[in-house]
Amino acid sequence: MAASVAGSPDSAREGVFEALGDPVRRRLLELLAGGEQPAGALVAALQERVRISQPAVSQHLRVLRDAGLVRVRAEGTRRLYAVDDAGTAAAREWLARFEDTFAQPLDALATELARGRRERRRRTSPPGESARGTG
């Protein structure tokens, strides 16, 4: 096991990317992207595609919760799960440093539009000032 590289330099919230590293957990987040859902519905949705037990899903939800990627709310005997922006924002934040500020194809435009970003900056980044300042 890797001697974890300490807290600070690793950035991001604790365990966010570890949690995202599992396909079942990513699928759960995709299901929750449409809005709050009870655990049972998530189990059922997953079971339409793969054979997985209820406890397995419950365990995955716990990992997501510990990572700050989802939050829970009790309603009667149901547990309503929803995406927690704290975790997803942490992940996006960490990835933001790799954003290719210039010379990015149409992909970037699509992303910008999807984000509804109202960037008014029309000026392109100055040639000599390209990213990465080591100092």
Concatenate the DSSP letters of all residues of 59-82 into one string: HHHHHHHHTTSEEEEEETTEEEEE
**Binding footprint of a copy of itself on the chain (CB under 8 A):** 2-6, 9-12, 17-18, 20-24, 26-27, 29-30, 33-35, 49-52, 83, 85, 88-89, 91-101, 103-104, 106-107, 110-111, 114-117, 121, 123, 125, 127-135
Nearest CB to DNA, comparing residues 61 and 90: 61
Q: Which does 26 bind (CB under 5 to 8 A by kind): a copy of itself, DNA, none?
A: a copy of itself
Beta-carbon contacts of 44 under 8 Å, excluding residues fewer than 6 positions away, are none
CB of 87 to a copy of itself, least distance (A): 9
CB of 3 to a copy of itself, least distance (A): 5
| CA pair distance 38, 117, nearest whole angstrom | 32
Q: Which does 124 bind (CB under 5 to 8 A by kind): a copy of itself, DNA, none?
A: none
Nearest CB to a copy of itself, comparing residues 55 and 128: 128
Nearest CB to a copy of itself, comparing residues 75 and 118: 118
Q: What are phi and psi of 124, to 5 degrees?
A: -80, 160
Nearest CB to a copy of itself, comparing residues 77 and 93: 93
Residue at token pair 């209820």: 54
27 in the Ramachandran plot: left (φ > 0), alpha (ψ -120 to 50) or beta? alpha
CB of 63 to DNA, least distance (A): 6
Q: What are phi and psi of 74, to 5 degrees?
A: -85, 135
| CA pair distance 77, 44, nearest whole angstrom | 17
